[in-house]
């Protein structure tokens, strides 16, 4: 399923469910719904979230910067005898990191930023701790592995719960619902999901393939359902009226059916 479909369906349905169940929608809970709708695909190099946060151009520039820094560091270590020979090793590593494959480089970058945030998080706030831990976990994941399993839901839910503090239940609930809806949508694809790896058991209702006509059709239906739900949740009177009309129609059909 396309990234933008996940974004619309998971966040739209989550916010509607929050509204319909009487939970207040706050800015943090809306933000976490949006992030959670895309988060499971963070282990996919072409995912919307990674393309936006770590585009290829930026990665290439970072590589160049790291090479320049590595060369500078080597020269500095040589002239100032700065912790030599260990500093040489560090300088060479900085340069060597740049010749690795783009995907590995991104994983290394995510792990380093994650480590840094963990360090800051311990001193400052649980927010940074959550993001740091998450980045480190995601850096080492295979695609459609842990993020597309029940463990992913539990880990993400747990992290949000710990970080939620005064933000209330709607915050972590929003993240868990949106994340789970993403997985539910992926169940509709040919690959399906493996809820409890390493068990080979799969949840799969292969209605569509991403990029094919079946994908377009199923994604369009999911988006339409989302808009209907949002309409019911946020344009309440009209939505309620439509629901009661549908209910009335169903009752009439049942009555006719009973007479036959
Ligand atoms: Zn996915």
Q: How far apart are CA 45 and CA 159, in angstroms?
A: 24
Residues 6 or more apart in contact with residue 204 via CB below 8 angstroms: 187, 189, 190, 191, 192, 193
43 CB-near residues (< 8 Å, 6+ apart): 138, 141, 142, 143, 144, 145, 146, 147
C-alpha span between 111 and 93 (Å, rounded): 16
Contact 156, 176 (CB under 8 A): yes
10 token code pair: 């998971």
**What's the 230 CA to ligand 1 centre distance in angstroms?**
22
* Distance from residue 186's CA to the centre of ligand 1 (Å): 6
**150 vs 40, 134, 144, 180, 196, CA distance in Å?**
11, 16, 12, 9, 6
CA of residue 43 to ligand 1 center, whole Å: 9
Listed in sequence order, the residues at least 6 apart from 147 whose beta carbon sits closer than 8 Å to its beta carbon are: 39, 40, 41, 42, 43, 138, 141
What pLDDT score does 175 carry? 94
Q: What's the 174 CA to ligand 1 centre distance in angstroms? A: 18
Is residue 121 within 8 A of residue 130, CB to CB? The reply is yes
When mean pLDDT is compared over 39-53, 113-127, 207-221, the highest value belongs to 207-221
Kindly state the percentage of the chain with pLDDT values over 70. 93
Residue 153, pLDDT score? 93
Buried b / exposed e along 134-147 (16+ C-beta atoms within 10 A): bbbbbbebeebebb
pLDDT tens-digit map of 166-217: 778 889 999 999 999 999 999 999 888 988 877 888 888 888 888 888 889 9
Q: How far is the CA of 148 from the centre of ligand 1 (A)?
A: 7
Residue-wise pLDDT tens digits, 2-39: 889 999 999 999 999 999 888 878 898 999 999 999 98
- Calpha distance 225→168 (Å, rounded): 28
At residue 193, the 3 state secondary structure works out as strand
Could you give the percent of the chain with pLDDT greater than 90?
23
Ligand 1 centre to CA of 75 (Å) is 46
Segments in the chain forming alpha helices (H): 3-20, 27-38, 48-53, 56-80, 86-97, 102-123, 126-139, 150-164, 169-187, 213-234, 236-259
**CA-based R_g, the chain, Å:** 24
Check residue 84 and report its DSSP letter.
Answer: T
Instruction: Please determine, for residue 142, whether its predicted confidence score (pLDDT) is greater than 80.
Output: no
258 alpha carbon – ligand 1 mean position (Å) = 44
**Ligand 1 center to residue 202 CA distance, Å?**
14
Cβ neighbourhood burial of 249 (10 Å; 0-12, 13-18, 19+): exposed
How many angstroms separate the alpha carbon of residue 170 from the centre of ligand 1?
A: 23
Give CA–CA dist 171/191, Å, rounded. Answer: 30
Q: How far is the CA of 136 from the centre of ligand 1 (A)?
A: 19
d(CA 255, CA 115): 64
Q: 193 CA distance to ligand 1 centroid (A)?
A: 9
Question: Residue ranges per domain, the chain?
Answer: 1-44+143-235
The Å distance, Cα 147 to ligand 1 centre, comes to 8
């Amino acid at each position: 399923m396309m990234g933008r479909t996940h974004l619309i369906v998971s966040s739209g349905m989550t916010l509607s469910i929050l509204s319909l169940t009487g939970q207040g929608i706050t800015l943090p809970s809306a933000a976490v719904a949006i992030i959670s709708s895309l988060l499971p695909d963070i282990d996919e190099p072409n995912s919307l979230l990674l393309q936006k946060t770590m585009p290829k151009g930026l990665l290439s520039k970072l590589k160049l910067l790291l090479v320049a820094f590595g060369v500078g560091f080597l020269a500095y270590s040589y002239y100032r005898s700065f912790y030599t020979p260990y500093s040489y090793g560090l300088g060479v590593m900085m340069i060597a990191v740049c010749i690795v494959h783009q995907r590995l480089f991104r994983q290394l970058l995510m792990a380093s930023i994650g480590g840094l945030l963990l360090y800051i998080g311990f001193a400052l706030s649980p927010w940074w701790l959550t993001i740091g831990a998450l980045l480190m976990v995601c850096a080492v994941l295979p695609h459609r592995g842990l993020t597309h399993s029940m463990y992913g839901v539990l880990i993400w839910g747990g992290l949000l719960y710990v970080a939620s503090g005064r933000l209330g239940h709607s915050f972590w609930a929003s993240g868990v619902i949106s994340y789970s809806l993403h997985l539910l949508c992926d169940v509709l694809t040919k690959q399906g999901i493996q809820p409890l790896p390493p068990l080979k058991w799969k949840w799969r209702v292969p209605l569509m393939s991403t990029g094919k006509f079946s994908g377009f059709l199923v994604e369009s239906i999911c988006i339409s359902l989302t808009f209907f739900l949002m309409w019911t949740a946020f344009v309440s009177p009209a939505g309620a009226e439509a629901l009661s009309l549908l209910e009335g129609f169903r009752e009439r059909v049942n009555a006719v059916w009973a007479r036959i």
